[in-house]
Amino acid sequence: MEQLMDLGKVSFTSGDYSLTIQNVDDDKQGLWNCQQAGRIVASYNLIVDVPPEIEMVSSSPVEVGEDSTLICQASGRPRPKIYWTRKGGETIDGAKTIELADADGVQRSQGTLVVQNVTKSMIAEISCNAQSRATTATQTTDVNVKCLPKTTNEAQTQARKSGQNGASTQSVNLLTLGFLLAYLLI
């Protein structure tokens, strides 16, 4: 066996045309040629997988009965496949995925899930999953449902039914006004 030549993280043994690339990273990707006497005798295109990474998951707050749109962007190589799951791992059907422009040598995807006719009981964790040959990345978000406080009329009706005087009704009105202001500031 001939002497092993060290080229940093790349080494080869001459004579049998074997090439060993140790600690492969992204900068080793590309075409590798084996030359003998100045002539290329073998070529190999090395493709390095980059594990998927979720760059963003977003949702906007909605009121009960409205639709909530969840958006997830991920990158990796090969291009990650995006899918959505509920807490407990149940896959959610009906999501759309589009390919985004590649950036810095990695491929990007965007997944969009529309949760229709949101109810209070839907305040739950939903996960965006980005899967490729290398692995799966997961990031969790909540469906953000706005819950309105009771109105002043309902509070007054309850106070009258319980036989309380006007002073109590005014404090209930102030309490309701406080909840309403807190809601508007969110």
pLDDT tens-digit profile of 62-82? 888 898 899 999 999 999 999
Q: Reduced to 3 states, what is the DSSP secondary structure of residue 53?
A: strand
pLDDT at 62: 87
Report the range of poorest mean pLDDT among 19-23, 40-44, 123-127, 147-151.
147-151
- Indicate yes or no: pTM above 0.95: no
State the Cα–Cα distance between residues 70 and 116, nearest whole angstrom: 11
The pLDDT of residue 115 is 86
Using CB atoms within 10 Å of the CB of residue 7, give its burial: 0 to 12 exposed, 13 to 18 middle, 19+ buried: exposed
The reported pLDDT for the residue numbered 16 is: 61
Please provide the average confidence, as pLDDT, over all residues in the chain.
76
- Which one, of 23, 59, 34, lies nearest residue 140 by Cα? 59
Residue with tokens 């140790």: 22
Contacts of 97 (CB under 8 A, 6+ apart): 81, 82, 109, 110, 111, 112
Distance CA 137, CA 81 (A): 10
The residue that leads in pLDDT, 91 or 183, is 91
The answer to whether residues 186 and 149 touch, using CB atoms and an 8 Å cutoff, is no
